[in-house]
Amino acid sequence: MIHVRRPPANKALPLTVRATMATRQKAVAQLGRGHPDIDRVWKNFRKTTVGELLADKLRALFRWKCAYCERVVTAGAIDHFYPKNQYPKRMFSWGNLLLCCMECNHAKGKTFHFLNGRPCFLDPTRDQPRECYLWDLQTGGMAPVPVAEHEERANFTRDELGLDADSLRIERAERVQNIIYFLLDVVKESPITDATKIKLRKSLTVELPYLGILDYLFHVPNHFTLLVDAARAKLPEIDTWLAAWA
């Protein structure tokens, strides 16, 4: 999981989309929690041209990746962070919508809990995952930071969504390993070859999955920090490439 900067609706969505969403929201404002029409209203909206345009905007915002696990998705579900069946007044709110893989969408379900007045689930557009998780750069594992302000919510999100599943750990560890190899080449080569630069730049593009663990690699002290710092000093372009998403 990595923080995603969400622009305001008037910057992200065309006027026609905002107007349609506002009209739809007024139409469902009177529906109570669990109303049987809620799912039907949303499904009908998703079939419209505006509904598909909204989905496209979310795919672009999240770079075709699940907001929670960072898997690349072919289409993806639209997740209501505050579930629409419990919070119909948020059904068409831009700030409540995330791109989500089917696995995370199913795991999140319709239940929603709070801890000290805050949602138990982390919202990657509002919360900063860098402050909530520690990463094992060799295994790809993730653990909540031992800080009371973040630990319980981070733990809940990880466990409920299965973000530390073996398959995800393996794929994240492979991503880190490849980056480490490229950083070693940067430090060893003199001069740095164009091939190495290209491979590293491509491996750090925002469209690739599992940037959360790479954010930790480059910005939080860890046992690869000396290597990272040496590579960044020798190849300052790395910071430019990271700036696109970090």
pLDDT digits (tens, 9 = 90+) for 39-55: 999 999 999 999 999 99
- Confidence at residue 162, expressed as pLDDT on a 0 to 100 scale: 97
Rounded distance, CA 94 to CA 149, Å? 27
Rounded distance, CA 4 to CA 215, Å? 12
On the question of pLDDT at 150 being above 80, the answer is: yes
Q: How far is CA 163 from the centre of its chain?
A: 12
- Confidence at residue 110, expressed as pLDDT on a 0 to 100 scale: 82
- Confidence at residue 182, expressed as pLDDT on a 0 to 100 scale: 97
DSSP type of residue 117: T
On the question of pLDDT at 136 being above 90, the answer is: yes
Contact 164, 135 (CB under 8 A): no
Please report, rounded to a whole number, the percentage of residues in the chain having pLDDT higher than 90. 92
Rounded distance, CA 230 to CA 152, Å? 36
- Confidence at residue 149, expressed as pLDDT on a 0 to 100 scale: 87
Among 84-88, 110-114, 142-146, the range scoring the smallest mean pLDDT is 110-114
- Confidence at residue 76, expressed as pLDDT on a 0 to 100 scale: 78
- Confidence at residue 34, expressed as pLDDT on a 0 to 100 scale: 86
DSSP-H helix ranges across the chain: 9-12, 15-28, 38-46, 49-61, 102-108, 148-161, 166-188, 194-203, 211-219, 225-234, 237-243
- Cα-based distances in Å from 123 to 29, 44, 113, 218: 24, 26, 13, 22
Residue that wins the pLDDT comparison between 74 and 89: 89
Rounded distance, CA 122 to CA 1, Å? 9
What's this model's pTM, rounded to 2 decimal places? 0.92
Rounded distance, CA 219 to CA 167, Å? 25
What does the mean pLDDT of the chain come to? 95
On the question of pLDDT at 16 being above 90, the answer is: yes
Q: Which of 59, 54, 80, 53 is nearest to 4 (CA)?
A: 59
pLDDT tens readout for residues 68-87: 999 999 877 999 999 999 99
Calculated CA dihedral for residues 189, 195, 200, 202, nearest 10 degrees: 170
